Amino acid sequence: MSLRTVAAVCAALLVPGAAQAQYQMISPMLFEGPRISLQDHANRGSSAPAGRSASPSGLQVDARSFAYRPDPARRRANLARFVDRSRAADPQGAENLAALFAQGDLIERMRPELAKYGLVIDNVADAYTVWWIAAWQASRGSHDDVSAATAAAIRRQVVQSMASTPALRTAGDAGKQEMAEALLVQGVLLSAALEQAGDDREQLAALSRAAVQGARGMGVDLSAMTLTERGFVPAQ
């Protein structure tokens, strides 16, 4: 997945270095959320029925447990907080974000792009899938797209891991929406920064460091995993 259509719009507004500063400052886990580690992700069985996955305890979990009813007013507030959190670390980057968000509903514009991979914008597991792919690609400087089947395999891994966090399944719409939209925005910003970097080794290296550092803060070691058609597996 590259989200290139949306990422290209973001790339035009990102200044060099802004993505790294924003990523270091703004983590979706600034509020309560699951710290999903490689051990939770890798080597989970991917043979569960479509739409349902087995949690670490063997409990069958419906992916719809992580869906929420989005509210436009909450979305505007979430995006405004996203800008505010970045202002102290990167004032110019915050202004770029504000300008980007002012162009229209960025989250809604992602809907048709995510639909190509069987994902939706109003599900925390789907949003985490988008972020995870974008973060790994940014860490490796990879512009490769992924297939819908790969996205589905990763989503199953995410659902299985999130199943061990009952508080997330039972969270209200507001909490789920805040986490999902932070993940989606970070995912598209990472993709935009990758698009902007092109083949510039210095920019790619800076972006990689930022992606690795941000993911580590969320309990994910991107260097220890490899993206495959079966999802993420331990790096050899």
Nearest to 25 by CA among 76, 97, 73, 77: 97
More confident residue, 144 or 73: 73
Span 68-80, mean pLDDT?
Answer: 94
Torsion of CA 183, 189, 191, 192, to 10 degrees: 160
CB-hemisphere CA count at 13 Å for 72? 3
- pLDDT, tens digit, 9 for 90 and up, residues 33-61: 334 443 343 333 333 333 344 444 455 66
Nearest to 200 by CA among 17, 8, 10: 17
Compute the distance between CA of residue 230 and CA of residue 189 in angstroms, rounded to an integer.
25
What's residue 206's pLDDT? 87
What 3-state class would DSSP assign to 62?
strand
What's residue 10's pLDDT? 62
Query: Does 76 have pLDDT greater than 60?
Result: yes
Span 216-224, mean pLDDT?
Answer: 85
The pair of structure tokens assigned to 87 is 């202002």
Query: Does 23 have pLDDT greater than 50?
Result: no
Compute the distance between CA of residue 176 and CA of residue 165 in angstroms, rounded to an integer.
13
What's residue 34's pLDDT? 39
Mean pLDDT of the chain: 77
Give 29's pLDDT tier (boundaries 50, 70, 90): very low
Whole-structure pTM value = 0.82
Strands 60-62 and 225-228: unpaired
- pLDDT, tens digit, 9 for 90 and up, residues 123-136: 999 999 999 999 99
- pLDDT, tens digit, 9 for 90 and up, residues 78-99: 999 888 887 877 787 788 888 8
- pLDDT, tens digit, 9 for 90 and up, residues 162-216: 887 777 777 889 989 988 998 998 888 888 888 888 888 988 998 898 888 888 8
Please, what sign has the CA dihedral across residues 197, 198, 203, 204?
positive
Domain locations along the chain = 4-234
Residue 189's H or E segment, with its range, is helix 173-197
What's residue 52's pLDDT? 41
What's residue 40's pLDDT? 43
